[in-house]
Chains A and B, each alone.
Chain A
Amino acid sequence: AQTVTQSQPEMSVQEAETVTLSCTYDTSESDYYLFWYKQPPSRQMILVIRQEAYKQQNATENRFSVNFQKAAKSFSLKISDSQLGDAAMYFCGFSSNTGKLIFGQGTTLQVKP
């Protein structure tokens, strides 16, 4: 069975600074997808970034980038130039080709002005 672990319940960053959220996972599959979702107070799940396991190149989306270490089963999210609007709960997710998502425990990110 797959598991996803986020070991940082809470993180804090100063506005305009950079922060990294950690995520590790466990699976025996070779083909899968990894995600980071943001959940603001509205509780709407918003896709931040996606990584295909077969791709060695780390995904990037503007200020958001990942460090995907497949052998180590690590998938961290780096947020550069943090903004107040980045404050939210962030979930790391794993999905095989079934589409079923398994989430980590979540990390609450606080952005200080």
Chain B
Amino acid sequence: GAVVSQHPSRVICKSGTSVKIECRSLDFQATTMFWYRQFPKKSLMLMATSNEGSKATYEQGVEKDKFLINHASLTLSTLTVTSAHPEDSSFYICSPGGDGETQYFGPGTRLLVL
């Protein structure tokens, strides 16, 4: 299966600061990257889809100015949580896009905003 890495695995930050999460597709080129958010004991909810070289598309209710997504290369996509607040504390997971057959996931990033 595809190897996907995320960095950092865990981050604690102060309210009002910005946090960048990196997602790397290590063994194949991902033209699309899906970003999910998961609250404790809840399901994964798709936040946005990033496309290499173009703007990301956001799901309804997700603030694009708060969650900045960049997909500058076929192996790297980043999610920046700007002016983070405690309610942004969550588990963020990336998943390189494929053809729909199988989706692999990164190990996730646990964000805690104090």
Q: Which of A's residues lie within 8 Å of B, judged by CB?
A: 32-33, 35, 42-45, 47, 50, 52, 89, 91, 93, 95-106, 108
Contacts and interface: CB of A to CB of B under 8 A. Distances in A.
A50 B58 CA distance: 26
A98 to B, nearest CB: 6
Given A33-B100, A101-B34, A101-B46, A47 B93 contact: no
A98 B101 CA distance: 9
Given A44-B108, A45-B93, A99-B32, A105 B43 contact: yes
Contacts, number: 65
Nearest to A42: B107
Given A44-B107, A45-B93, A99 B98 contact: yes
Contacts of A101: 34, 44, 46, 95, 103
13 contacts: A32-B100, A33-B101, A33-B102, A43-B93, A45-B44, A45-B105, A52-B101, A93-B103, A98-B97, A99-B34, A99-B98, A102-B46, A103-B43
A25 to B, nearest CB: 14
A35 B43 contact: no
A45 B6 CA distance: 13
Interface majority SS (helix, strand, loop, mixed), chain B? loop
Interface residues of B, number: 26
B99 interface: yes
A104 B34 contact: no
Contact of B103 (A35, A104, A105): A35
A100 B49 CA distance: 8
Given A43-B91, A99-B97, A104 B43 contact: yes
Contacts of A106: 41-43
Interface string B74-114: 00000000000000000101010111111111011010000
A43 B44 contact: no
Contacts of A52: 101
B61 interface: no
